[in-house]
Amino acid sequence: MTSYRYAINVTPKPGILDPQGRAVEGSLGHLGIEGVSAVRVGRRVELTVDASDQVAARAVVEHLAAELLSNPLIEAFEVEQLGEASSTVSAVGTAAEA
Amino acid sequence: MTSYRYAINVTPKPGILDPQGRAVEGSLGHLGIEGVSAVRVGRRVELTVDASDQVAARAVVEHLAAELLSNPLIEAFEVEQLGEASSTVSAVGTAAEA
């Protein structure tokens, strides 16, 4: 088993109302910040998956993102693979055990 | 002025309690998902900045992230520049106007 680290970025779909984004835009004036627009607020979930290979790990992440972490009616998600420091260590461990 | 699109990823600092992450881990069993651990739930904010150049745009984003979008006691943030489709268009427009 190798450990992979992923991030799942969940964002409101285009055209879907985003009250948090509007709230951020409304606060910009108080901070004296100009030139910022089109603010969209979503979630970012980072997690570790132990799987036999990268294809299996990614399948688990896609399943989790679609079933638990996003609402497909109003949100889109994208999966991003993060640094594989722990997977390298695990891969070495596996090779040594084999 | 050129338009730049950025994402700000805000995540709980290591060691900080993350109840949303624990909730996700607690739900994995119901979905029959195994091998997922170290779940951390944060926010992802995407926004457009109009600025004279990329350095100025990034300064605005860093300021906004530190002052409004994250709590420095318990959260870390990282800034990510996204595709520059709109900046290319704006740059062309600016060149044509010049």
Q: What is the pLDDT of residues B42-61, one digit of tens each?
A: 999 999 999 999 999 999 99
Taking only the tens place, the pLDDT of each residue in A83-96 is 764 544 433 434 43
pLDDT band (50, 70, 90) for residue B29: confident
Q: Which amino acid is at B94?
A: T
Query: What's the rounded mean pLDDT across residues A76-84?
Result: 90
For the record, the structure tokens of A18 come out as 């985003």
Residue A11: which H helix or E strand, with range?
Answer: strand A2-12
**Cα–Cα nearest to A45, from B29, B81, B71, B9:** B9
CB B47 within 8 A of CB B61: yes
Q: What is the pTM of this model?
A: 0.83
What is the pLDDT, as a whole number, of residue A95? 40
Compute the average pLDDT of residues A21-42: 94
Specify burial of residue B62 (Cβ count, 10 A radius: 0-12, 13-18, 19+).
middle
The residue of chain B nearest to residue A21, with distances taken between CA atoms, is: B45
**pLDDT tens digits, B62-88:** 999 999 999 999 999 999 999 764 544
**Quick one: tokens of B94?**
């600016």
Tell me the percentage of chain A whose pLDDT exceeds 90: 79
What would the mean pLDDT of A4-23 be, rounded to a whole number? 96
Out of A9, A45, A51, the one facing B24 most closely (by C-beta) is A45
Question: How many angstroms from the chain centroid is the CA of residue B18?
Answer: 18
pLDDT at B95: 41
Q: Which residues pair with B39 in a beta bridge?
A: none
* Residue of chain B nearest A46, judged by CA positions: B40
DSSP A68: I
Q: Is pLDDT above 70 for A28? A: yes
Closest CA to B47 of B72, B71, B79: B79
Strand, coil or helix: A20: helix
Are B1 and B93 in contact by the 8 Å Cβ rule? The answer is no
Substitution target in B8, B27, B47 with the highest count of A β-carbons within 10 Å is: B47
In A, which residues are within 8 Å of B11 by CB distance?
Answer: 44, 46
Return the pLDDT at A92.
40
